[in-house]
A and B are shown apart, each in its own frame.
Chain A
């Protein structure tokens, strides 16, 4: 299989421009600059590249929504605020293949005719930010970025903008607010960022992995890229696997690789004798699956068909030593902590849910708590400005639907029968493929 993201990850100093150029790096940018903007966008549309931040919206179509060029500023923002629990792919792209992202940024900026690009990197990613800054300097010196790139007359400045600790800033309009120096509170839409975005100008926000896929599409064509995946889901995907498996890590595989194969072949299967109990397929907000449901294609449509979501393809694997109530409590607290407080259902509901799950886990659950929990979740769902409300409600509804018995057991017995998880790191040679 062609490796797009992980091609240089095993090479010593694979993050350097020299290594990237030796493998043909920035050739796609030169090619794009000789094409029309429409043709570049057309290839990306043909490649069925869907947004890798989790929403799965076709990238080429999104670019097509950019407001008509009025000669004023237009922006590209790259979402590197990787924070969905279970997800650790964008950090690796930035640390190991920063030029892949920068070349994709340059091609995308050319396609949407933006001359400034901000890479919004979450505050904790110091080493990734260092790598990206060094890579920008290298690329500017080599003429891949900056003024009159490769004699095309196209100018582009790329800036790193660090976040400061707020999960909600991974939502694109909150990210824009945050770059503008404000609290990261999502905006009501419409207008969408493509019409009124950063500094009230037309803006595209794309995830790191989406952007990093662009050079390969231009180099080898949309049709080639589309054929790597499944119908409607182009390319390869970085699957992040964590939890109770033998070989946690990042696996670059074709879009639509079955979840069972990802867990049992690539991630080596379960870590010990304890059998599989549950899988969160695409990051903490995506509805949980039971062991009977893992024969599913890991793409946007495959997971939708089983009532879950591909999200950021962050697969968290639970063996039967895990308590589902305690696990949900952990997630409920996360969303309560990260709610920006703007919408009442989310601001109040996330804390309320965390309180109820805590009560059930500590053995003090009351009759009616489970139904109440379900009711609060469905009252948040669809009733907030941004998807954080849904993201908080979906795991609750999912856990209750699939593991209700365990919640009932906690309430009726008045205790949790699961011992704490022992300290058990899994040391493995990192796997990329």
Chain B
């Protein structure tokens, strides 16, 4: 049986840096794609897609969050704007949650790193959870508020 080699702090740093360097093309690709998405998908475009019932709004919110990307703070700012424009809390909750949990632009990179099976399971579970969490959060909030 192969003996595990002791690792020095220098080797640990080198390994960490090399690992990040090998990921750089994928990271730069995702960042580049996010730049394009942020240019073409505006909050105004998003708000026109909501207002068709709880299930549809949660679905749309999830989808919109999944195709958007960037700092979560940006999603909160957009969410606040959407609420102001009368979009339901169901949709907005799904939107901000999908923003940080799902990433359609990251899917090719995710598949290349983890493989198709893991990526598929992860994203299906995340999609379903995000929709359910959005629904239960608003329902629970309504129960506590009443």
Indicate, yes or no, whether A interacts with B. Answer: no
Query: Which residue numbers of A lie inside 8 Å of B, CB to CB?
Result: none
